[in-house]
Structure 1
C-alpha cells in the first residue's frame, strides 16, 4: 500500500481560502476579458476566443449550481447568456450566485459531486477555485499581459487536484488508460505525488519522499510552473525532468490532456 500523507482526495488548502480564491480569480478573469477584444484567440484553449472562455466559465458556474440544487449530475442548465445579457454579466452573475450558495453551507456538508472521494460542498469550492484560476491564466496569456502570481499553497493544492481528480479519477471514468506500464513522481514545493499509468491501473496519490525512488522519472519545479504545466498551460522547459524515462513523462502528460479537455 502507498505511504500516503494526509487524506486522499481532500483539499490541501483551507476551504475559506478556496472560496476567497474563487471570488478574486473570477474578478481577475472578468477584468482581463474586458481589456481584450472578445474575438482574441486563446492559444491554450485551441479554437476558443476570449469571449468563449468567459462564456464557458459562466456555464460551468451554473452547472455547479444545478449539481448543488438538484443533488445529481445535471442534464440541462443555462449554457449561454440570456438575450441582451453580455458574457461579462453572465460570468459575474453566475459567480456571485455560486459564491453565495457555497458560503451558505459548511464545506463539510454533504453535496452531490462526481468524485467518490469527496461528496461535500468543499469539493465544489476547490474545483471552482482551480477552474477559475486556470482560465484566468488562459486569458492573461492570450492578452500577452503579465501573469498574476499564483501562490505556492494554491498551486500545490492545484497539483494535487489535477493529479488525484483528473488523472486518478477522470481517466478511469472515461475508460482511458496508458499503453505501457510506467510511473512518474511529481514534486512541487515540499509535496510529492506518485503517478502510475498502464493497461492495468491509472492512479495518483500523495507520497513520501522515500516513495519517489520507485518512479521511472521525476518531474519537479516551482509549484506554479508544475501546476500550469500539468494543465497544459506551460512549456515543457518550465519544469525539470530529472534523469529517468522521458516516455513515461510524455505518457502522463498526454493522458492529462485527454482527462482535462
Structure 2
C-alpha cells in the first residue's frame, strides 16, 4: 500500500526536485554572488546557494547513516567554488533518492513518513522555496510556482511544519482556534485544510471545503499565493482572510518559528 502522504506522486517529486535544483543553479549564475537575499536578512546569493548545498548533503547523511547526522559537509572544500559545492550536493542527493524505491524505509524526522519518499518531498520544497528567493534577489521577474507543487507545499507546510515540528519544538499558540485554508486552482473545488492551534496544541489536516469553511478564520488564495504565504515569502495580508484575523496571524507567526 502506498505511503504517499502528499498531494503529488513520488515520481513527480523527484523530477521536480531535479528541475528546481537546476533552475536555482542557473539563477545564481545570472547575478552577483554578493546580491542580498531579502527573504533571509544578512544572506547573499552565495550564502543561499551554500545553505541549500549543505541541506542537500544533510539529507544524504540522514539516509546513509540511518539517523540524524551530527556532522556533515556544510561548506566548499579548499579550492572548490560555492557553485561547485552546490552542484555536486544536489546531484548526489538526486542520485541517492533515485536509487531507492520511495516507499523503502528510511530515517526521517517525521514519524508519519519514515521513507525515502519523505526526502523526495522535503528536498523539492527546500529547493523550490529558495529558488523563489534567488529569483527575487536576482530580479529575474515574478517567480512562478507550478500549481501542483504549490498545493503539495501547502500540505507539507501545514501537516509537517505546523502540525509536527512546532510540537517537537514545544511551541504552541496563545489563543485557541481554527484556521481553514482554500488553495483555489484548476482542480475542481480546489484543496482545503484546517489547522488548529492553542496552548499545548498544533495540528492540521486535509479536509472538505465545507469543513474548512467552519473554521474561526478562513484563508483563501491561489495555491502559489497560499504556499508562499505559509513560508513567509509574502506579507500576512497577501491572502484573503475572513473571520478572526488574529488567529490567522498567530498561525503565520508560529510558522515563522517552525520554518526558520
TM-score, length-scaled by structure 1:
0.94
C-alpha distance in structure 2 between counterparts of 1:80 and 1:241, whole Å: 42
Q: Which consecutive unaligned segments of at least 5 residues does structure 1 have?
A: 1-6
Q: Secondary structure at the match of 2:107?
A: coil
Give structure 2 stretches of 5+ with no counterpart: 185-189
Q: Aligned equivalents of 2:244 and 2:3: distance in 1? A: 26
CA distance in 2, matches of 1:159, 1:147: 19
**Residues matched between the structures, number:** 254
* Per-residue deviation, 1:123: 0.2
Secondary structure of the 1:238 match is coil
Offset from partner CA, 1:92-144 (integer Å, 9 cap, x none): 10111110010010000000000011000000000000000000000111112
Cα offsets for 1:68-100 (capped at 9, x unmatched): 001000000001011111111111101111100
Aligned twin of 1:134? 129
1:180-218: CA deviations, max 9, x gaps?
111100110311110111103110110112212331110
Indicate the residue corresponding to 1:39 in structure 2. Answer: 34
1:108 alignment counterpart: 103
Q: Say if 2:236 and 2:249, in contact at 8 Å, map to a contact too.
A: no
Q: Which residue of 1 aligns with 2:238?
A: 238
* Corresponding residue for residue 82 of structure 1: 77
| Counterpart Cα distance in 2 of 1:53 and 1:21 | 20
Runs (4+) of structure 1 exceeding 3 A deviation are: none
Name the structure 2 match of 1:204: 204
**Which structure has more RCO (C-alpha within 8 Å, separation ≥ 6)?**
1
Which residue is equivalent to 1:15?
10
Q: Is the 8 A contact 2:53 2:85 kept in 1?
A: yes
For 1:13 and 1:146, locate their aligned partners in 2 and report how far apart those are by CA, in whole Å.
26
Native 8 Å contact 2:4 2:10 kept in 1: no
Alignment of 1:46-85 (within 5 A): 46-85=41-80
CA contact (8 A) 1:9 1:117 kept: no
Asked if structure 2 preserves the Cα contact closer than 8 Å seen for 1:8 and 1:205, the reply is no
Q: In structure 2, what is the Cα distance between the partners aligned to 1:44 and 1:237? A: 16
Say whether residues 1:24 and 2:23 are aligned partners: no
| 1:149 shift after superposition | 1.9
Instruction: Report the counterpart of residue 222 of structure 1 in structure 2.
Output: 222
Cα–Cα, structure 1 residues 8 and 232, in superposed 2: closer, same or farther, change >3 Å?
A: farther
- Tell me by how many angstroms 1:148 deviates: 3.8
Question: Superposition RMSD on alpha carbons, in Å?
Answer: 1.3
1:154 to 140, 149, 155: 149
Look up the match of 1:248.
247
